[in-house]
Amino acid sequence: MDGLQQFFDAYQTTIGFIGLNAMLALSVWLTLYTGQLTLGNAAFAGIAAYGSALLTMKAGYPFPLALACGALLAAAVSLPLGATVFRLRGVYLAIATLAFGEVVRVAILAIPITGRGQGLVGIPPKTELWHIFASLLVIAYVCARLRISTVGRAWAAIREDELAAASQGIPVRRYKLAAFVLGALIAGWAGGLGAHFDFAIQPDEFGFARAVQILVFAVVGGIPNVFGPILGALLFTALPAVLQPLQEYRDIFQGVILVLVIVYLPRGLATLLELRRTARLRTVGAEDVA
Amino acid sequence: MADQIYNAVFIGSIYALFALGFTLVFSVLDILNLAHPALFTLGAFTALFAMQQGVPAALAVLVAFVVCGAAGVILDRVAFAPLRRRNAPPLSAMISSIGVSLILIRLIQLQYGPDLQAYPAGALPAAVFSVGGLELDTLRTVIIGLAIGLMLALTYLVRSTRLGRELRALAENPRAARLLGIDVDRAIAATFFLSAGLGGIAGALYGFATNSPFSQMGQSFELKAFSVMIVGGMGSIPGAVLGAYLLSFGEIASLTFLPSELRDAFAFGLLFVVLLVRPRGILGQRDVDRV
């Protein structure tokens, strides 16, 4: 038991980041499941992180209220943004959301109250591990339920063929926007939790590199179901800690894994979990039913 | 004032060289190659390595072109070709190129560390000459000339040679190109060689001009290149050149009314506005994939 406690203490930060990253991965999963590539979620996390941290530090808001305000702020920003950028598709959409993310990063650098380049330091560490994992559980459950609901089917239809979906009477723009705003809300919640978990935040934590990292979690994990993004976040957050002794070669391992997964597991790591089921179904010739 | 214009021309030339390679792969294969900044960095360090072995600077640029070109072809075989064979979505190629980029940057760091490096003393021309009272240094002027020459050469290659025709056919429709007897695999390899080679030259030249190559030097160019490509028109070669100079002049001009740490805001603000107002860009011809 002592050994377990020690392990837990030593890796507490890593464990917390696994949960936070899993939430961020799920936030981008929503739009990816709809077939839309957006890279704004790091910025939404940043908006909420700064918003909620400033509320607890400067305005004395209670922690849960500050978290909620931060997440709602991110969602409120995402609504007009989504309404404009969803005129675009494919790389254009990705680059537009990316540009938005950079504008947010530069804006944070420009506003004095955020501490600019030095970052915001001395955020009260209110986030407990159970906050993170309870949130993750709720978010994962909501996403999983949404996936098999009417909304989820509409998202899948849009992903497979937008025109066909529209001709079936699915309001395509509205459903895309819903995925985007919900994603921003989740990213915002994770951002607020992260800010109060980490003592300090810096604008660079929410830039291009972070946006790409979140995308990697989700895509390498796999888009078909909600376990994929969680698995991806787990792997790519735990791996650097596990490979600590090999620090110099860490990026090389990560890079190789990234390429191997994309090349050999097109549907992501989560397909590893599915393999056994499809194999069994194949023997009874029921694959199409599944 | 003239000084600032000279600066804008210089940095615009580097933007253009960088973005040309980026846009070439995108226009032919619809891939956003996120390893391009790593190839840019590789170019600067290949030149450094060559010059440490006593190779003159001009030849080192050529070495960077060839080495990066070859690296680009390998990149395609490893990270993109398997995905192409099974018709994977463009997103997969993008992620796979991120993996290669991580590996490449780390390999460079293992050799040279994360810090600023310098080219061997005396290996780069340091002479300064003046034209009409304006102080110009030889190095930057040569770089500008070389960059413009390369842009013209690439335009000629794509417009007027057999390879260029093949590339344009491939960009239009890979299946039809194959049916017409075009060696598609060879054309793709050529695309990657040219793209990565140009990226490598851009890296070497920028490394020379700053004389401080470092392992993350490609990063800021990556984001700027998005801006350049979108503003000029995604996949358009003259568009990338126009976008590059528009951006560099705009940035320098914006410094007069923006504090210097907000310089980057100009690039992304411009990018955002162009995407919303005219997503196909200034010189973009084909219809943007939009709803």
Give CATH for domain A12-283.
1.10.3470
**Among the partner residues A88, A98, A259, nearest to B100 by beta-carbon distance:** A259
pLDDT band (50, 70, 90) for residue A20: very high
Tokens 């017409």 correspond to B180
**Among the partner residues A86, A103, A212, nearest to B98 by beta-carbon distance:** A212
**Among the partner residues B86, B265, B288, nearest to A266 by beta-carbon distance:** B86
Write out the two tokens for A169: 């009477």
For residue A116, what pLDDT is reported?
82
Q: How far apart are CA B67 and CA B145, in angstroms?
A: 22
Q: Number of CB pairs < 8 Å for A and B?
A: 135
Tell me the HSE value of B289 on the side-chain side, using a 13 A CA sphere: 12
User: CA-based diameter of chain B, in Å?
Assistant: 60
Q: Do A255 and B101 touch (CB under 8 A)?
A: yes
Q: Which ipTM was obtained for this model?
A: 0.86
From first to last of its 291 residues, what are the pLDDT tens digits of chain B? Answer: 788 888 899 999 999 999 999 999 998 988 889 999 999 999 999 999 999 999 999 999 999 999 999 999 999 999 999 999 888 888 889 889 999 999 999 999 999 988 899 998 888 887 778 777 777 888 889 999 999 999 999 999 999 999 999 999 998 888 899 999 999 999 999 999 999 999 999 999 999 999 999 998 998 888 888 889 889 888 888 899 999 999 999 988 888 777 777 777 888 888 888 888 888 888 776 554 433
pLDDT band (50, 70, 90) for residue A276: low
More confident residue, A116 or A46: A46
Q: What is the 3-state secondary structure (H, E, C) of B183-200?
A: CHHHHHHHHHHHHHHHHH
C-alpha distance from residue B46 to each of B16, B43, B67, B196 (Å): 21, 5, 7, 13
In sign, the C-alpha dihedral spanning B56, B58, B61, B65 is negative
Q: In chain B, what residues touch A220 (CB-CB under 8 Å)?
A: 95
Q: Do A103 and B265 touch (CB under 8 A)?
A: yes
For residue A288, what pLDDT is reported?
35
Write out the two tokens for A26: 């799920």
The answer to whether residue B290 neighbours chain A at the CB level (below 8 Å) is yes
Do the beta carbons of residue A208 and residue A101 sit within 8 Å?
yes
Q: How far apart are CA A229 and CA A18, in angstroms?
A: 11
Q: In chain B, what residues touch A211 (CB-CB under 8 Å)?
A: none
The answer to whether residue B47 neighbours chain A at the CB level (below 8 Å) is no
Q: In chain A, what residues touch B259 (CB-CB under 8 Å)?
A: 110
Strand partners, A88: B290
Q: In chain A, what residues touch B267 (CB-CB under 8 Å)?
A: 102
For residue A284, what pLDDT is reported?
43
Tokens 């991806």 correspond to A232
Q: In chain B, what residues touch A268 (CB-CB under 8 Å)?
A: none
pLDDT per residue over B7-35, tens digit each?
Answer: 899 999 999 999 999 999 998 988 889 99
Highest-pLDDT range among A37-46, A83-92, A248-257: A37-46
pLDDT-wise least confident of A189-203, A250-264, B175-189, B259-273: B259-273
Domain map (residue ranges) of chain A: 12-283
Write out the two tokens for A189: 């919640």
**Using the 8-state DSSP alphabet, how is residue A120 labeled?**
E
Q: In chain B, what residues touch A257 (CB-CB under 8 Å)?
A: 99
pLDDT per residue over B69-95, tens digit each?
Answer: 999 999 999 999 999 988 888 888 988
Q: How far apart are CA A278 and CA A148, in angstroms?
A: 19
In sign, the C-alpha dihedral spanning A121, A125, A129, A135 is negative
For residue A287, what pLDDT is reported?
35
- Average pLDDT, whole number, for chain A? 88
Do the beta carbons of residue A23 and residue A168 sit within 8 Å?
no
Chain B segment 54-83 residues within 8 A of A by beta carbon are 78-79, 82-83
Q: In chain B, what residues touch A110 (CB-CB under 8 Å)?
A: 259, 261-262, 265
Q: Do B289 and A259 touch (CB under 8 A)?
A: no
pLDDT band (50, 70, 90) for residue A277: low
For residue B290, what pLDDT is reported?
35
Chain B segment 215-274 residues within 8 A of A by beta carbon are 219, 222-223, 226-227, 230, 234, 259, 261-262, 264-265, 267-269, 271-272
Residues with Cβ within 8 Å of A251's Cβ and at least 6 positions away in sequence, in order, are B102, B103, B105, B106
Tell me the HSE value of B41 on the side-chain side, using a 13 A CA sphere: 28
For testing the chain A interface, which of B29, B36, B95, B260 should be mutated: the one with the most A CBs within 10 Å? B95
pLDDT band (50, 70, 90) for residue A275: low
Q: In chain B, what residues touch A111 (CB-CB under 8 Å)?
A: none
Of A149, A152, A171, A176, the C-alpha closest to A224 is: A152
pLDDT per residue over A56-85, tens digit each?
Answer: 999 999 999 999 999 999 999 999 999 999
**Among the partner residues B83, B261, B289, nearest to A109 by beta-carbon distance:** B261
Do the beta carbons of residue A121 and residue A199 sit within 8 Å?
yes
**Has residue A25 got a pLDDT over 50?**
yes
